[in-house]
Structure 1
């Protein structure tokens, strides 16, 4: 049983760790707001985190990554980065700290170590910020607005300048838009300031003016009158789905690129992390970010396919209900979706099985798919039953996904979950589009495996949209993962 002296020592150490975490938070904020350098801890953002959250993330690195680093060591590396002259960048503090633990004897000091690791960072010093317009302001639009404003920093990447909606913009409408942005039943309160500007029909978000524009026709808007030029339009209305319809945006003054937040026809469908480099950004002007389900399963399918080969398979997605369904039984253009969403499981279709082939052509015709809408407002689960070209086991499959979650091009897309008590509400607010449930993997040492992939169909997808938007806008910073 712990003695009083032992408890005093524990409390003293806890206070010391908390104080160090607070110092780390300040350093992280200074790097972000002064230099647009974003620090993450094994892909987990450190921006706007509390002391408790920072300490918990360090505990996570010990449990999952099996790379024990302390908050004291993290602070040492972060402060050294603060002393360096660095252009905008995104740097994994966890990876750097772990590498310094193992390689410190090879370098004169921390500065020498960092210069060696971050070689090439100077070539990313010039980034031209991109104006962004949200066309539509529903579930995805508001989450995009939140994230864009939270991560504005010094404004060296994406700048949210306007939001376009239908209908007259009265003072009452401005108040309603503000309220929906500020308070969200699923994602909670927005921790920033939002002030209405009735005179100029705008919202002042964290001190920055975001214009509210009313329009029924994309081509009729003159964005330059708002000081917006060469803008990237993020169309999240769902009203324009093919190249012809989306091209209407490009006829507006002040627009250069369009990104659809849904599957698109006749335009590149991109799952960021998988196929974004296959398209010439100077030749294409309209892009699609595919669907939330496609973004959840494609990274996992790429990892499994590249490692073991995929013969064929079936996708079943257990999806949260959406605004497309009825609140109570009523007419609907699609079968079954007319039944009350909050009290029924509803079998419906998903195009994700076929859509995967747009990012991974080798899977063309190999996946069947179906969907079940269930009575939860957010948080979904994809079940992949795959027949492979190689024999596998639970261990080999999990090790494969774990490797991809830690290294390579899919580290932002795949989160490897180790919690065997995890349920759908636990993944709400997770920025990764694919959360691999390692404890649920099924395999009998043959060529078949069943994989369970969670995803926040709103939050995780929104982050994928922003990652792709940065790529399209050519404002991706130097990254060190």
Structure 2
């Protein structure tokens, strides 16, 4: 057999293994509510090529070969043992098995030992969810909630509230907006408008479309919704007093705001959620997309090198708040055509970080530039650090935190020399560290970090993570 034939044969074997892995991933999700990821990259509903490319990424991450056959072997064991609903990193398990294989009789004994902590996990009580608002973030939240419903062991989207009435025509329009998205592509599911019940049938489940002029006027219990978490993504209610109006409505138990809030806990999941017990608070804020991008990175730098001072400049995609053509706007510069101009504007992210990391109070300044792209943003962090460092040390620090610890869901480490904004669209991590762009001054006291983020998709996943924490439906995880 010549080299070319050997290569063809090897690739065919890898693809067959990928097909087998896809089947196991699906069976685990639908039969056991167990989600497999590969170094935090989702594996569910991925193609053969995507599965193989993720294994190549893993190999690059560790500078060692990463066998899909090992992934299949471990996944097969997980399929045959009893586990509660869980989210398991197949990449971490495969990597550890390669390092520790000699200490175990076989792969089954390895998996049983690593996942033994799952035995202490309490049974989850599913939580009803209501989306108040159905704009950019609302529709992405709906997609994720319904795409990941599985057996319904965690969160169940029951209703969507709009401030416009829903007749047959508007219902179909809302269904179409959920099906098709110019940035994120088609929804990988089914959406049917049901005017007779004033609902959308999404992936076979009924989601009621409720019209309301005011938060307190809805009786959610009349729809069979009880003890629900309401996620307000309208941006119309941002104070504790305004958000408290949701709690007056029958059927609502907790409220989560998808914007910075006043008088309520502002949380960047992964950084400061444990400071706020869901049993003691009823209203929460998920802060802003930019705050969620920079806070995990700043926490790493503060914990390892120390932040003396710094400035952050966010280069942000234009938003619906701006004008498509020049027109009146209540804020300076935002009235100019969004798709034709770079627009300097303000951001509160520099001060908002201190709510999650008090040690940074007064140490950061910030500003923003809106640019003519519809999605995909970048923060440039220019920091003076207390402990001098080198570029190699800085990258090693970020790689470590992206691989292990409490921020693995928040930080994605990029090796890509050619990374541009369109590449990061659809990334679930709120912060993508660009290792090839980082700069360290000659004396090691000043560092410049480039942090990419999908200001819609990455932020929506942070909202979902926080929602699961508030709803107490966080599964057993192994990262």
TM-score under structure 1 length normalisation: 0.98
CA distance in 2, matches of 1:67, 1:210: 46
- Counterparts of residues 176-187 of structure 1 (less than 5 Å): 176-187=173-184
CA distance in 2, matches of 1:108, 1:65: 25
How far apart are 1:67 and its partner, in Å? 4.3
- Counterparts of residues 207-356 of structure 1 (less than 5 Å): 207-356=204-353
How far apart are 1:286 and its partner, in Å? 0.2
How far apart are 1:469 and its partner, in Å? 0.3
How far apart are 1:65 and its partner, in Å? 3.0
Of 397, 401, 412 in structure 2, the residue corresponding to residue 400 of structure 1 is 397
How far apart are 1:125 and its partner, in Å? 4.2
- Matched-pair contact (CA < 8 Å) for 1:88–1:124: no
- Matched-pair contact (CA < 8 Å) for 1:158–1:475: yes
- Matched-pair contact (CA < 8 Å) for 1:67–1:98: no
CA distance in 2, matches of 1:280, 1:196: 38
Of 8, 24, 27 in structure 1, the residue corresponding to residue 5 of structure 2 is 8
Gaps of 5+ in 1: none
Partner of 1:283, secondary structure, is coil
Of 55, 62, 66 in structure 1, the residue corresponding to residue 63 of structure 2 is 66
* Equivalent pairs, count: 478
CA distance in 2, matches of 1:43, 1:442: 26
- Matched-pair contact (CA < 8 Å) for 2:345–2:368: yes
Aligned CA-pair RMSD: 0.9
Partner of 1:188, secondary structure, is coil
CA distance in 2, matches of 1:104, 1:61: 19
Gaps of 5+ in 2: none
Q: For residue 94 of structure 2, what is the aligned residue in structure 1?
A: 97
Partner of 2:56, secondary structure, is helix
Of 387, 391, 410 in structure 1, the residue corresponding to residue 388 of structure 2 is 391
Q: For residue 75 of structure 1, what is the aligned residue in structure 2?
A: 72
Q: Does 1:377 align with 2:374?
A: yes
CA distance in 2, matches of 1:338, 1:142: 26
Task: Spell out, residue by residue over 1:319-348, the C-alpha distance to the aligned partner (whole angstroms, 9 max, x if none).
Answer: 000000001000000000000000000000
CA distance in 2, matches of 1:464, 1:306: 22
Task: Spell out, residue by residue over 1:379-428, the C-alpha distance to the aligned partner (whole angstroms, 9 max, x if none).
Answer: 00000000111111111111111110001000000000010100000000
CA distance in 2, matches of 1:103, 1:331: 64
- Matched-pair contact (CA < 8 Å) for 1:222–1:252: yes
- Matched-pair contact (CA < 8 Å) for 1:133–1:232: yes
CA distance in 1, matches of 2:174, 2:422: 26
How far apart are 1:122 and its partner, in Å? 1.7
CA distance in 2, matches of 1:280, 1:191: 35
Q: Does 1:35 align with 2:20?
A: no
How far apart are 1:104 and its partner, in Å? 1.9
Q: For residue 476 of structure 2, what is the aligned residue in structure 1?
A: 478
CA distance in 2, matches of 1:154, 1:163: 21
CA distance in 1, matches of 2:381, 2:213: 41
Task: Spell out, residue by residue over 1:182-220, the C-alpha distance to the aligned partner (whole angstroms, 9 max, x if none).
Answer: 000100111111111111011111111111000011111
TM-score under structure 2 length normalisation: 0.99
Structure 1 runs of 4+ aligned residues shifted over 3 Å read none
